[in-house]
Structure 1
Amino acid sequence: MVPVYELAIQVPNIELVVFFDEVNTSSCLGLIKEMFIDKTLHGVNLPENIFFTAAINPSRKIELTDDDFYRVDYLVHELPQSLQNLVVQYGILESSTMRDYIQKKIAKFEISVQKDGQVISLTQSEQGILTKAILDAQEFCETNLAPNTVSQREIQRCFNLIEYFWSSNWDNTKHIDRTQYALKCIALSIALIYYFRLPTGNDNEESKDKKKSSRKDLAKKLSAATIPNFANIVETELKKFVNDENFVIPKGVAINQAIREHVFAIVVSITTRTPVCIIGAPGQSKTLSFQIVLQNLQGPQLSEKNFCKSLPAIDPFFCLGSKHTSSNDISYAFDRAIKREQQYEENRMATRCVVFLDEASLPNEKRMVLKVLHQYLDECKVAFVAIANSPFDAANANRMTCIYRSLPSKEDQEVLAYGCLGLNKGSQISDDLKNIITGLCEGYRNLLSYNDFQKIFHDRDFIYMLRELGFESSLTSTESHSNKIHITPTNLLTVLEDNFNGITFDQFKKLTKIFFDAIEEICPIFEQPTDDRGSHLYRDITTILSESMQLTSVRRRSYGRYKLVIDESEDESAVRFLFQTKILDPNRTTVFRLSDFPSDVNNELKNVEILSTIKLCMETGNRNSADYETINRMTDVLSLVSVCDNST
């Protein structure tokens, strides 16, 4: 304020306007009150020709639930009583005003086709379709979600995306009728901005919430008014965009609906520098999708697929969110990315820098860590992809495209199961095996709705169970040289012990019964093993841990997972037990002792030392398994002792 104060004294006949944006996110509201009300600063009178104004977001206290896919609250402080009298409410635009605004924007909208340098203006008919589609989508979200879930930013994003889709033409469909081509571009833009943020009808059925608006409701409205067969257009284009002809898909990964939507959204986001956030429960292929994009978009020289050769290469800047993440950590990643992007542009290199914020919902909201995103997302100088388990507050959500990951449908879950087992759903498979796979999917769905123990299992557990089951149940036929899967009850019990453990023995027996009952219902010959083998039917924890630590490198890469041992004792009894039973080799094991004491948590030198040692353990143990996806599998440390075995 010193420069403003001095300038006001120098030019007393000119009124100076000082604007504070998002003032109620500040921690010094007392100082703001002093300037606005008392006209002083630290007790010193301010010149009368300084006029203060500010913008705020409303303060709302909302109780969030696990099923919420959007938020209407803002991360702000309550204004002092003296400032509340100055507040002027600014509501949303009326429908007629919004229509006029959109029409005038569209009338000036021109599409610049990158490949041939053409500039195309929309016809009157196309302008009418786009206007109606945006209005319907905006009104749908304002009415069925909340007025502040959409803003004018969504409208501008639609224009940017339409220009991208018009220029891309990944399936060479420009020979079709122009109106149909325009409908496709408009439909995809509306889908990314409005449609994908909604839950599916299947998600509402699982949560038994029939009042919650779904994608089906929006698709029905758009199909009836502006874009016939809206949902079919979007689904068809997704399949054309994301398939094994355009992208190299890792073995054991199924191209289900989640992968398609995530990869599509990430590629478009990076190419157009449109910030995107994918929201969903753990284990729903969010980080995996980014890895697929990262591995495929290597530029015209290094990309394997011709489709990816036409897309820019990616230079990622990773930022892993946690409760200790600060705004400086995030801004550091952005500043580095922006500087690198400028270098690429100066050298005319087709490379996009992208800031990847994983676990974006973990930073402490009370410290308003994510407020630093506002400036970077408004400027859009680099691409931004965020992965979160829960939605952002309204201020951040408005600044990015949000993709909500619903629970998979039965059909989509079976596609996932076949892919993880290494099978093609359309190939020749025995009826018994089909029934077993269907039963596995049904059993997992029943498990998620089972309320007798904590909700600690997610799709990632199911996926790795299927990978292990497929690997260990595969038999190579020497006659046909093709792989066949033979799943036995014993194999299933083993993989359940490896991937759905961490609960009491009685609870685990209930869990196995859920899976076997679901399979036996449609495949009676698949019976749950009985206790006729005595105590050898179920393996004890020591055996499970010991066998998992002795996996071959091939098995470890296929379905190996890190283990978390929670030691509730005060004398590290569990750790000593691991050494005594030779589950861990003392000569190949490094023990890290962590604590929550402030002096330890905030000791940056100590944290760097621990991280460097962990990296060294990974490099000397198995370099190939220590990639980002492997690190992402690790669970948060819940005890004071974390064990890192060099062999893993």
Structure 2
Amino acid sequence: YTALDLQNEMNEIVRAAEKLQQDQTVVVFVDELNTTSIMGPLQSIFSDRVYEGKKIPDNIMWACAINPAIQRNVELEDAEDKKSNFTGVNKRKALEYAVRPIPQSLQDLSINFTALTETQENRFINSLLSALYSEVFQNRDQRNTLTVAILESQKFIKRIGKRNIGVSIRDILRTVKIYTFLYNNPFLLMQIDDSRHQQLACERHWRALFLAIGMCYYFRLQYKTQREAFETEIQDALSRIDYHSNANNIPPVLLGQKLSTIVRKTQGSLFKQ
């Protein structure tokens, strides 16, 4: 993103603001603000409301997202990279952008939104899946199992606390989207057999759930011990659910299999399609 890009966009924003009535406002969202190389002009826009020596209209409101600038331990990062990175490319050198500290004048305008607490995450996931209930799920047990699986996955990733592995609302939304796509396209997950219609309805839920969790959380874990611990915790949590109907529990065809085994077999079916 260059100074010329900023100039073009500022011209559009100012024109849009000038066309509005006095009581109307243009809201401009700037993402990843502190990765930019042109902080000077942006600071002038946000702090002084001036761009290229001209005052910008008062009916423009700016909202920006920034990431904290963290002091990095380069030696430790390189040591970890050697252990777990088999691509031949140094991750630190392959970074597309760097997070920089923001000027003091902008720090005074910033609000620190911390990560969601476990309770907040629980409420968010329940609200999200409740809104999708009639569109996605056939019964309450399906919603509950996906909720538990996502919550436990989020907790596990947070607990191991690796610098390059984190979770956020994006991961929750991504898991739900992948689950929904797979559940609505069962031919990608397994062979369709009308004689087993009732069993298949349950089985496709579990295959979609395990594959969504696998893609969004399991495969992000670098070490075998982490993956094994993750499998155990997820399946223990699912086994503790009080199912509304036993017919919605893990079907016999999947019972006793590890999450990783189900994911690999289901992925194989998916790629064959």
- TM-score by length of structure 1 reads 0.32
* 8 A Cα contact 2:214 2:263, kept in partner: no
Matched, 1:5 2:8: no
Distance 1:200 1:51 in 2: 46
Could you tell me which of 238, 252, 255 is aligned with 1:226?
238
Q: Cα distance, 1:181 vs. partner?
A: 4.4
- Counterpart in 1 of 2:264? 238
Give yes or no for the alignment of 1:170 onto 2:190.
Answer: yes
Correspondence 1:42 to 2:42: no
Amino acid at match of 2:161: L
- Please say if residues 17 and 60 of structure 2, whose CA atoms lie closer than 8 Å, have aligned partners that are also in contact: yes
Whole-Å Cα distance in 2 between the matches of residues 230 and 155 of structure 1?
A: 26
**Residue from 189, 208, 219 that aligns with 1:185:** 208
Contact 1:15 1:50 in 2 (8 A): yes
The equivalent position to 1:151 in structure 2, one of 168, 171, 180, is 168
Q: What SS does structure 1 have at the residue aligned with 2:98?
A: coil
Quote the Cα distance in structure 2 between the aligned partners of 1:56 and 1:231.
Answer: 42
| Structure 1 SS opposite 2:13 | helix
Structure 2 residue ranges without an equivalent (≥5): 1-9, 86-90, 240-249
The match for 1:78 among 61, 84, 101 is 101
SS state at 2:101 partner: coil
Displacement of 1:178 in angstroms is 4.6
1:126 to 136, 139, 142: 142
SS of structure 2 residue aligned to 1:226: helix
Correspondence 1:423-502 to 2 at 5 A = none
Shift of 1:195: 0.7
Aligned 8 A contact 1:184 1:233 in 2: no
Partner of 1:92: 115
Following superposition of structure 1 onto structure 2, how do residues 307-386 of structure 1 map, counting pairs within 5 Å?
308=272, 311=273
* Cα shift readout 1:155-213 (whole Å, capped 9, x = no counterpart): 22223332343312424477237545433321222111111111243xx6xxxxxxxxx
> Are positions 1:217 and 2:229 aligned together?
yes
Contact 2:47-2:105 at 8 Å conserved across structures: yes
Three-state SS of the structure 1 residue aligned to 2:155 is: helix
Q: Cα distance, 1:87 vs. partner?
A: 1.7
1:160 equivalent to 2:177? Answer yes
Answer whether contact 1:222 1:230 (CA < 8 A) is retained.
no
Q: Residues 173 and 182 from structure 1, CA distance in 2 versus in 1: closer, same or farther, beyond 3 angstroms?
A: farther
- Whether the 8 Å contact between 2:145 and 2:238 is mirrored in structure 1 is yes
How has the CA–CA distance of structure 1 residues 172 and 2 changed in structure 2, closer, same or farther, with 3 Å as cutoff? closer
SS at 1:127's partner residue?
A: helix
Q: Is the 8 A contact 1:173 1:181 kept in 2?
A: no
Distance 1:189 1:155 in 2: 10
Q: Distance in 2 between matches of 1:237 and 1:32?
A: 46
Q: State the 1:239 CA deviation.
A: 3.8
Whether the 8 Å CA contact 2:35–2:100 is kept in 1: the answer is: yes
Give deviations 1:537-586, integer Å, cap 9, x for gaps.
xxxxxxxxxxxxxxxxxxxxxxxxxxxxxxxxxxxxxxxxxxxxxxxxxx
1:153 is matched by which residue type in structure 2? R
How many residues align? The count is 228
Q: Which position in structure 2 is the counterpart of 1:350?
A: none
1:217-255 CA-partner distances (Å, limit 9, x unpaired): 11111121115768624314524653xxx7xxxxxxxxx
C-alpha separation in 2, matches of 1:38 and 1:125: 55
Radius of gyration: which is bigger? 1
Q: 1:13 to 1:121 in 2, by over 3 A?
A: closer
Q: Is the 8 A contact 2:84 2:222 kept in 1?
A: no
Question: Comparing both structures, which one devotes a greater share of its residues to strand?
Answer: 1
Out of 34, 38, 43, the residue aligned to residue 28 of structure 1 is: 38
Write the distance in 2 (CA, Å) between the matches of 1:8 and 1:164.
Answer: 40
Q: Give 1:27 deviation, angstroms.
A: 1.3
CA deviation after TM superposition for structure 1 residue 51, in Å = 2.7
Which structure would you say has the larger RCO, counting Cα contacts within 8 Å and 6 or more residues apart? 2
Amino acid at match of 2:215: L
Structure 2: distance between partners of 1:81 and 1:165: 47
Contact kept, 8 Å, 1:223 with 1:230, in 2: the verdict is no
Assess, with a 3 A threshold, how the Cα gap between structure 1 residues 173 and 91 changes in structure 2: closer, same or farther: farther
How has the CA–CA distance of structure 1 residues 222 and 230 changed in structure 2, closer, same or farther, with 3 Å as cutoff? farther
TM-aligned CA deviation for residue 48 of structure 1: 3.0
Q: Distance in 1 between matches of 2:257 and 2:109?
A: 47
For residues 13 and 177 of structure 1, the distance between their equivalents in structure 2, rounded to whole angstroms, comes to 57
Q: Equivalents in 2 of 1:122, 1:43: separation in Å?
A: 60
1:302-358 CA deviation, whole Å, 9 max, x = no partner?
xxxxxx4xx3xxxxxxxxxxxxxxxxxxxxxxxxxxxxxxxxxxxxxxxxxxxxxxx
Q: 1:189 to 1:43 in 2, by over 3 A?
A: same
Q: Determine the structure 1 residue equivalent to 2:131.
A: 108
Higher helix proportion: 2
Alpha-carbon distance between aligned partners in 1 of 2:259 and 2:124, rounded to the nearest angstrom:
28
d(CA) in 1 for partners of 2:113, 2:143: 29
Residue 537 of structure 1 corresponds to: none
Q: CA deviation at 1:28?
A: 0.9
Give the CA deviation at 1:61.
3.3
Measure, in 2, the Cα distance between the counterparts of 1:91 and 1:173: 48
Please tell me the root mean square deviation across aligned C-alpha atoms, in Å: 3.3
Q: Any idea what SS the aligned residue of 1:100 has?
A: helix
| 1:200 to 1:20, Cα distance in 2 relative to 1, 3 A | closer
Change beyond 3 A, Cα 1:171–1:99:
same
Give secondary structure in 2 for the equivalent of 1:51. Answer: strand
- Greater shift, 157-166 or 96-105, is seen at 157-166
Cα distance in 1 for residues equivalent to 2:206 and 2:179: 10
Q: 1:184 to 1:80 in 2, by over 3 A?
A: same
Residue pair 2:31, 2:64 contacting (<8 A) in 1 also: yes
1:6 to partner: Cα distance: 4.2
Report how far residue 26 of structure 1 moved.
Answer: 1.7
> Partner of 1:196 in structure 2?
219
